[in-house]
Chains A and B, each alone.
Chain A
Amino acid sequence: MSEPYTMVVGLEVHVQLATASKLFCRCSTRFGAEPNTQTCPLCIGLPGALPVMNREAYELGLKAALGLNLEIPRFTKWDRKSYYYPDLPKGYQISQYDLPMSQNGYLEIRDPKGRFETRRIGINRAHLEEDAGKSLHDEAGAVADSRIDLNRCGTPLLEIVSEPDIRSPFEAKAYLSELKLLLTFLNVSDCNMQEGSLRVDANVNLHIDGPDGQVATPIVEVKNMNSFRAVERALTYEAARQYDAWQETGQAKGDVPKQTRGWDDTAGVTHGMRHKEESSDYPYFPDPDLVPVTVTDEEIEQVRQSLGALPAALRDRLQTEFGLSDYDSDVIVGQGPALVEYYLDLAQATGDGKLASNWVQQDVMRYLNDQAIAVADYPVRPDQLAELLTKVKVGELDTSRGRQVLEHMLAAGGTAAEAVEHLGIKQVDAGEEVELCRELLAANPQIVADLQAGKLKAAGALIGMAKKTNPNVNPGRVREIAIELANQWDT
């Protein structure tokens, strides 16, 4: 690091839990409904309505917490966080304060390209809370009223609060990517940022080594970051801004109240927002309408058993069991559970993890991207692709022929054998190839001379001619045969 400071970042991530109904009432959580069509007396805060806890939301929270290596207190309770805003009709948000459902965990972040050391980012806590509604600001009329849509009110969120362990914008992005991947594998949330299922706020300041020891700059909370890339950019900007501000004013943490700044993605800058009340200024008190939740060791163990294979363990498995590189295992696992399953089926059926990895990355993933489809909609099943890869592996087909076969399978369906048949690809026996090479070398003494002189590129021209004569020859084998023959050639 060449900067004259250390950056200190903690992230607060809100993810929407993948329930059908809200946290305390049975209104739907479906995204995209017409404004105010998914509300009831409870979630719009009418007097007398009583909340009841959604079991699925609690269980999804438990899964996420265990995936994040968090401790699960056996007793947890609900609190009211009071503040006044038009999108919060009750005047308080049901959240968790002093006895959250989970605390003290970590998430390991890594970079297969080695730009930072693999490290554990501490997670302070993850707790359940309800979402607020949405203010639809009318951009056209500045003096017009604000329009309020309460559909989101009461949607279950898990707030995941990291320790201030993140040291760079790049690490912040890595943390968010790994968190999102983990939650995707756990089926806890769809983590769709565009639809607001995953939101990120960052607390950031700098520790600067000065002549009189270390100085910390005032902590700033950055909001309104709508993509992981935006988080990375906002933090980069904010570090530079804080360093400049410190040089200009000399203000350190404690000299000024904590500031909230919003990220403007178009302008690429953060703007000051209203001063945030200190957390003690949000009056909290226990919610009398909701009873506490207790959980037993057995229940926790049961949820732990249900987690399935998680990204870190899968990367290890792809490396140790299938011989993939750190990088390749990261690419495949990064695509999510469906592709990992496809890969595992393919690798097992082919018996060659690296070959399977090459084809999955270069062919399957590219097709999925081009067609913008999910793995489940990929037309060739792993066992069908395995049949093709086995032909490539034993040399029956070379890679480019194999690709033609796959293209045919994608377009027309059927097995690899049927595609081979349809494309008129015939096995050429080795004797035929030797004979062909001998003829071509006899007709092209310059190629013989080049090959003898070690100019192996000359084999390319010979392969071209061989393919013209018989499209079914195996280029790799023709190349080997030609070099061998040339070296024993009597001129």
Chain B
Amino acid sequence: MSISPEQVLKVSRLARLELSDDELATMTAQLSQVVDYVDQLSELNTDDVVPMAHALDLTNVFVVDQVAESLERSQALANAPHADGECYLVPAVMGD
């Protein structure tokens, strides 16, 4: 298995996900399969291949710096689970 349960735990913490022991075992196996699958690419010799930064062969797509209309606030807040008419409400963020 190419990924350890410790690595999965660390990633789940960064993603703010809480995994039960069962889930951790499942995820470790599944993530390992994914990584192993992608790892097949390393069988290829890429010595002469230029690293690719983007899948599209396209650069320099820009727009002009011009203000356009934003959403009405009521629209922006419409899908929020909690809002007070001005702001989104989330469980208190403490400390920083």
Contacts and interface: CB of A to CB of B under 8 A. Distances in A.
B86 A19 contact: no
Contacts of B54: 77, 286, 288, 291-292
B16 A84 contact: yes
B95 A52 contact: no
Given A99-B53, A294-B59, A28 B88 contact: no
Interface in A260-277: 260, 262, 273-274, 277
Given A36-B76, A39-B70, A54 B92 contact: no
Nearest to B63: A52
A34 B71 CA distance: 13
Contacts of A142: 92
Nearest to A52: B63
B56 A150 contact: no
B87 A57 contact: no
A14 to B, nearest CB: 16
Nearest to B86: A35
A136 B92 CA distance: 10
Chain B interface size range = 35 or more
Interface string B60-86: 111111111011010011000010101
Contacts of B63: 26, 52-55
B89 interface: yes
Contact of A20 (B16, B65, B93): B65
B58 interface: yes
Contacts of A148: 87-90
A38 B67 CA distance: 10
A40 B89 contact: no
Contacts of A58: 62
Main secondary structure of the interface of A (DSSP, over half): loop
B73 A36 contact: yes
Interface string B40-62: 00000000000001111011111
Nearest to A86: B90
A54 B91 CA distance: 34
A71 B86 CA distance: 44
Contacts of B18: none
Nearest to B57: A291
Contact of A147 (B60, B64, B67, B88): B88
A256 interface: no
A21 B90 contact: no
A53 B54 CA distance: 15
A329 B88 CA distance: 50
B53 A39 contact: no
B22 interface: no
Contacts of A149: 86-87
B22 to A, nearest CB: 24
B79 to A, nearest CB: 8
A137 interface: yes
Contacts of B38: none
B62 to A, nearest CB: 4
A3 B62 CA distance: 52
Interface string A80-112: 001111100000000000010000000000000
Contacts of B64: 55-56
Interface in A288-309: 288, 290-294
- Of all A-B residue pairs in the complex, the 3 with the closest CB atoms, nearest first, are A56-B65, A147-B87, A26-B68
Interface of B: 10, 14-16, 53-56, 58-68, 70-71, 73, 76-77, 82, 84, 86-93, 95-96
